[in-house]
Amino acid sequence: GAVVSQHPSWVICKSGTSVKIECRSLDFQATTMFWYRQFPKQSLMLMATSNEGSKATYEQGVEKDKFLINHASLTLSTLTVTSAHPEDSSFYICSASDASGRAGETQYFGPGTRLLVL
């Protein structure tokens, strides 16, 4: 149980285009979803937290107009990188929490999406 998928797993795009990444919880309802960014050989940096049906909460320094997050249902959240530039190239990972109370706010992670902006 507690499977999270991401799509696509890999995307290459031209500078200036927008890219949408989907995060789905496959076998549970995710009350909260999180979006992280990871640079090579580094830890995960939390970008934003989203609860279904409400606006995402962005971490300091993350541009909300650049990284649009939509959490329209209890099983789907999307991250759109608008007007992508080469510096946006990174590994983007989502996670989902069912807040079941079994272990606090245990987060289950997706497999990640590697974005390369040319």
Binding site for another protein (CB under 8 A): 4, 6, 34, 42-44, 46, 49, 93, 95, 103-112, 114
Provide, rounded to whole angstroms, the least separation between the CB of residue 11 and another protein.
14
Nearest to 94 by CA among 8, 41, 51, 35: 35
Q: What is the DSSP letter of 72?
A: E
* Alpha carbons 48 and 45: distance in angstroms, whole number: 9
Q: Nearer to another protein by C-beta: 6 or 90?
A: 6
Nearest to 35 by CA among 85, 1, 80, 101: 80
Q: Nearer to another protein by C-beta: 19 or 92?
A: 92
Q: Nearer to another protein by C-beta: 31 or 82?
A: 31
